[in-house]
Structure 1
């Protein structure tokens, strides 16, 4: 249902088929299943907008999902940033710049990924010098240690440089679900949020002991403990940390969660291509990735995720292909033979970060790592169509496939 979710379609019927073959088994691959669905739906939307004489972005805006839209699987859509992403595309310098020259085309597509959650644990140990040793259970494959450290620093009002994160193993941290589904900044972020507030509760008790006051009269504001009615009584985080032992012992914050409220993510790809009519080679001239990320906790890491997913999609669109023997063995199973995109094949991937806060997370976080891949192949297919005037409905769109299509022998 991911392929229809970006849009408000009152009537949807989906027939699904299992196809059995003798090729190697499949496994999850960045937004599994969603890119292929988007490849077909977004090409169809491009055809419809052309036949109706409507700008492809305007056509998508006219039919975009909003909060409360009933999805193809029957559920209601939560607050999503589909309209905001499309408006960002329409307002971008890329979309508003002319594309001149022969055999060139511009394509756009929109994609959806639901994102995920799961159980997560975090332990934050306050050191006497005011630093924190943070132990969390999510394996870091995209900069999540820094992101969750930032979330903890935000709760405590202290510099993120005072937090030292590490990923624990099963002997040192409670159960944490796998790093998958673009869920770490969401679920482990929730865990460190709870751990941070656990620390604050304990520090308020310690300050009340030092001042011989009621804990109800003490508050924690931006890294400082203060008495509500006596402005002279203040202790910063750095000042109270050395006094932990004399006021009751170490302070350890814990967060153990299995949060709901996951925020889905919508992404768009805008790409310009040029086709060599003699060889069928596709040259990527310009590419911009757009995505609603909820809240960009670490913007440069978010940008890297958008760029990485986009490059992966460009490779899938143009180069990456399995060659199989008659008995089902893969013939190009090395990086020497399996053609992947390199920096020499690509321009700079520009990014536009859209922030529509997820109301189901204290910092508005949505998953970032997978939605950016979903629309890429469809956007490339649409751009190739506008360059050569013929549709290609298979992946990858290699030079041979393009030459067959140009010559009227499209497969």
Structure 2
């Protein structure tokens, strides 16, 4: 170790070989991940998911499943009451609390293939799976819309009848799939493009991409007789999970304790109480026994938040000396089934490296019949930067 990096010169870490505090536990197998939690009397929960991307729920009959040997409880929309219409912190974003509830257990409609409709607790995962097949759900199948541009058109199928566009601070007056439109503008675009020697305009489309963490979602929850709820779960946001459980189940936050286990990857995708909320309700209806809900890989990809797909249009003009005279961007982001795409972050990123006298940026948050989106490593920023920097590269080539 050189004298410039030893402790005598004030450095505690530089030049040393620190041992990872979690390294030994992980390489020896002592580390506890969410699926390693096993509590006395534990039950296993499974979730019934919609086979349709868009449908109205006419009725749910769970009587046969409830009577099936080994089944201790079934929960549906009827078990979850009204919640306040407020915005909930989701760690790397925010969402309407009613939308969070409806995403965890569908109420009036299912809005994507894999949307949870009911959940079962049983003495084994196999019995729970068998019981799911006994739940009868009557649907009125509706046409889906899977593309953000198509969802913005007049006559497109409407996902949420109560949704109105927030148009730069003003609320719209008709049902829509466009949750929000905002704009940042400065200078004179027409004048700026007229002064340019070179103008490049391109459109880009990116698809929804899942975070792909190696460990599926898993949580074990017990709603105790003293009205305290305990959760062991794979999460990046223990406090966000606690808030969701408390708000959606009508329990004070002081009575909810969330213990985050070791996490097998998250990358922004583990802030939602997918298993904790239905698991807690199953626990309460099962005589306060603990319930574990472990998703399969298929369920993770079907029903947990990917990053937004997007349409992005970028137009940039510059003089031969490289000075940008004008820039314009339009970002249309897929929010999935409920509002809350990271289009605001994308708009903040897309042209931020450049000094611009004439600029306009428009952003649209659009709902489509796909899973509710979530954060994914610089949410909203990567697809925006891909679009703008591709145009900058082409502009530089043309200028020479």
Establish whether TM, by shorter chain, passes 0.5.
no
Q: TM-score range by the shorter chain?
A: 0.3 to 0.5
Is the strand fraction higher in 1 or 2? Answer: 2
Q: Which has the higher contact order (CA 8 A, sep 6+)?
A: 1
Is the helix fraction higher in 1 or 2? Answer: 1
